[in-house]
Structure 1
Amino acid sequence: MTRRLMLWLTGATILFWFAAAGFGALVMREEFDEVFDSALQETAQRLLPLVVNDVFQREQSTDPFRMNDSGTEHAEYLTYQLRDKDGRVLLHSHDALPEPLAAPLKRGFYDTPTHRIYTEVAVSGTLFLQVSDPLAQRREAMLEGALTLFLPLLALVPLSMAAVWLVVRRSLAPIRTLRDEIGARDGGNLSPVGTVGLPAELNTIATSVDRLLERLRTSLDAEREFAANSAHELRTPIAGALAQTQRLIAELPEGAARKRARNIEKALENLAHLAEKLLQLSRAESGIGVSDRSVDLVPVVRLLTEEFERKPDNAGRLTLDVETGTSLTRKVDIDAFAIALRNLIENALIHGSTDSPVKVVAGKNGSIIVSNGGAVIPPSELAQLTTRFKRGKTEAEGSGLGLAIAATLVRRMGGTLEFRSPASDREDGFEATIRF
């Protein structure tokens, strides 16, 4: 918008300047013509009695007499001829041609392609003094006068662009401030924009945005509180039901009843897992991620990897590679980082192929890579994996929240989460990379 305003305002200003200069040049041309015509007429009237008197004092001759035959000659802008009623030239100035001027013998102005001529009559219409002014001189004066109007504009154009840019930028500064403030608001920052320092024209917009943010903040807080409370309250009864079901399985003999009890146990475990994910999602949306204290994340990566390896189902399925000298010291919340990495490793173990191990790599470039084997995921599905409750084409169990929670937390920590399929240095699999 600043560029468009600057271009349009500068263009309009330059257009008006050139139009005004052009109009001034036209007016100047008319004034020059009046001045030159007046000088031409006055010169003829002043010369006429002198020339006529000089002619009568000289001897009659058939050849025209040239003035200033002796003495220092000089260039003339105005030339003249004295002619009789038959058109013969009796006398002419030293720069004038001896041939008669191409102008009628009557008082007034007359234009030829090269000169403007004024004729004055004397001695009862028997003598005619014709004074000519070259049009080239008028055009030269007009051109020089027009250049004095237009040439300064060439210097004023860049100055005007700089002035317009400065004025527009300063005038639109409150709009940019309001834009940046609104752009900084998201699910983790719903604080009021405020109206301090904004002009009256933007106060209404800022006030409306603050009202909208207040309503949104209230709605999100209610949803988060409901989800967190529900998940928290469900954990105890789910754990109790799961314990009772496991005791029932131990007491029942092999048969259909025990099989149904195992199905109930599986369903309760999935429900407990979902409640845990909802609690993690609630924490992720509460804004955790950035810390004012720097911590080394490598020990957290080691601890989480060892924790997953201790589970019987994951034995031999995890490998950890920490490059020598790697130190991931960042100002991030340890809990947020642990939740994000836990979800990535858990996702790789659940959906990855059991034939190839899940690799966790911590690099010196500040990246943490979690990769697993398995079928290649199409690019169209990769872009949707961070959508809540969105699952790829897999038969494995899951809530569809793990990658969404990880993406939210990594974004809160100021990092990026990138997905790739197939994984690096292989033809299949899936790879998730956290970059700080």
Structure 2
Amino acid sequence: MKARFLSLWNRINASYWFWPATFCLAAFCLALLTLHLDRSGMADSLAEVAAIVPARPDGASTMLQVIAGSMIGVAATVFSITIAAVAYASGTYGPRLLTNFMEDRGNQLSLATFIGTFVYAIMILRSVRGEDERPSTVQDAMASTLPGFVPQLSLLVATAMMLAAVGMLVFFLNHVPSSIRINVVLERIGERLIRQIRDRFLEEGDAIDVERPNGGWPVAAGRSGYVEVIDYSGLSDIAREHDIDVMIDRQSGDFVHPKVTLARYCGGSGADNAIESALQSCFVLSGLRTPQQDLRFLIDELVEIALRALSPGINDPFTAITALHWLGAATAQLGCRELARAPDDSDDEDKRRIHPRHMRFADYVGIGFGSARSAVATSPKAALAMYDAMEDCATTMRQSRVADILAEGERLIMQVRTNLAGPDLAMVEARHEAFAATCSLRG
């Protein structure tokens, strides 16, 4: 059940409907509250404030109509600008970045503010009564000493919301061009990746070989899709309840189809359809990969930006260099942490019942630096930057993992020799020798 909630929250977080819907409901409730205060006479003290000039029905109606009309127009414009920015960014930097822009809280709250202000203005507008109109109730007739009815407090709140919306518009116009700058995009991806590494792998230390039991009864995927969320705590509860060991054969981000095994379990009373169904419910499959539990997704985003930047059609090595810098920072974090012990797969008992499938540090190096190697090898600047990033990793990580970085450096120079020649090749080879010397001292 927890996995379903996590998946649902991931979809809500990456949607443009949740915050606008929430603000609409809040504006509706706020309108009912302020109208009640106006009709009950609780807001009559506003008449004693000299700075607040009471509005007449015609002026109040005109003002509310202007607010409502302008807000819905601005909301449509903001949505159009947002979609254009998202389309540009996903087309330029890669379609996988669409999730990052959909989750942008600034865009979501900007749209929500304008729509919420529109709903509030419409709700207040319907209660304004002209001077020549008869009151519908005794309470309405007693609500104001002026002819007609003007909810003064509600109108004041509408004015405040309009000013807040103007401020949000100024923020939005600055936020959108800033958010699609490539350095900002890379910074957000890199910081999120590093933060998730720290949250997932809390312990610092060297690699520990954890034996996984063999055999057991398989738990099939049941349908096709990517593994989006794995509920480790739910698996642990099921394992304790039925006295079984669970071996997870897939990771978040893996693609499966109905007959692929998600996990295996052994112990207890043997094969059981109820146990299989319970274990299967701890895996949420979807049609796309998300960064919620998938570190490889964020690494792939950095690699994709680097590959696109180094493509012949774009030829932007400086963007690729920035991507390699963030990739190096994330790799350094991975190199300092115990990758076989994550907080979500620990067991309170001495005997571990859940046995996840872990990746080695060398695997992460291959997914990151290794995937970018072929394109990096075509650019002297990018190759030098990659050696700088890997050298910084080697000087800050555990000594037992320096060999993996050194091996990737060797593969890079082999690739460079097939793409570069002359002074460019000599410059990169000299940098490789310095990198290898540094790694040798660490190892």
Above 0.5 in TM-score?
Answer: no
Rg bigger for which structure? 1
Write 1 or 2 for the structure with the bigger share of strand: 1
Structure 2 length normalisation: TM-score?
Answer: 0.22
Write 1 or 2 for the structure with the bigger share of helix: 2
RCO comparison, higher one (Cα < 8 Å, 6+)? 2
